[in-house]
Amino acid sequence: MPLHHGVIGLESPPYERSWTSKDTLLYALGVGAGTAELAFTTENSAGLRQRVLPTFAVLVAQAPTGRRLGDFDPAMLVHAEQSFEAHREIPPEGRVRTTSTVTGIHDKGSGALVTSEARAVDAETGEPMVTSRSAVFIRGEGGFGGGRGPRDEWAEPQGPPDHKVTYPTHPDQALLYRLSGDRNPLHSDPAFAARAGFDRPILHGLCTYGVTGRALLHAVAGSDPARLVAMSGRFSRPVLPGESLTVSIWVDGPSVLFRTAKDDGTVVIDRGRATVRPA
């Protein structure tokens, strides 16, 4: 059954969600932060106040669309692209009201690319907090004759990167990251992963995104989450829990380009962009 194109442009009802200090600590652990990053992984270390990793902004702005996209096998859906813009630093605990909109359904031939945007505002004041944009790719749902969508003109940087940061992931990382809310069995259930064509469960794309965000935060933003205000990237290949990730970073003033790759050179986040506020 084809996807429901009538949902495009329809704004969802407001969705309210809150988070606590425990949630932001758990998220930091889920994307690999540890004892070297106590400002993000503890709330009571002497001389430190708890801060929040900037990529938690994506979770802050997550909300149901309020519309069904259609009938399809959920094992055929993968996260394709993700971006966020933080309008203020994310606090360790808070409450937001979010509306979301499906912005397009694009025909990629072998599948459909569904894009959406979510806007989260402080539930008390109405102050904008996060704008998040994402895309999912649904295999087998293309070929309906629609447009392919806008082309990204990201150009490969010339010369070596200004920074290269490598972080390991551990074999059980997906089981920890899923406790931040994404319980998709693709990341935990071997039988479900096999239905999707994988030998074993894969790491959440947003976990890889969070690991990449940590590299950017420490390499180009002075470890200050108030300075990493925007980040976008395209998920190009899956990551298996236990594989290491290397983030190559090119800096041009406040504008940053990046790529994330596995040890064998396979690029897993491509066309990366970030914006860093001056110190």
The residues assigned a catalytic role are 182, 187
Which amino acid is it at 148? R
Q: Are 107 and 137 in contact (CB under 8 A)?
A: no
* Calpha distance 115→134 (Å, rounded): 6
Residues 6 or more apart whose Cβ sits within 8 Å of residue 246 = 164, 165, 166, 260, 261, 262, 263
Q: How far apart are CA 227 and CA 216, in angstroms?
A: 10
Let me know: does 100 contact 63? Beta carbons within 8 Å.
Answer: yes
Tell me how far CA of residue 193 lies from CA of 181, 186, 189, 190, in angstroms. Answer: 18, 5, 6, 5
β-bridge pairing 128-139 and 228-235: unpaired
- Strand ranges (E), 87-158: 94-107, 111-122, 128-139
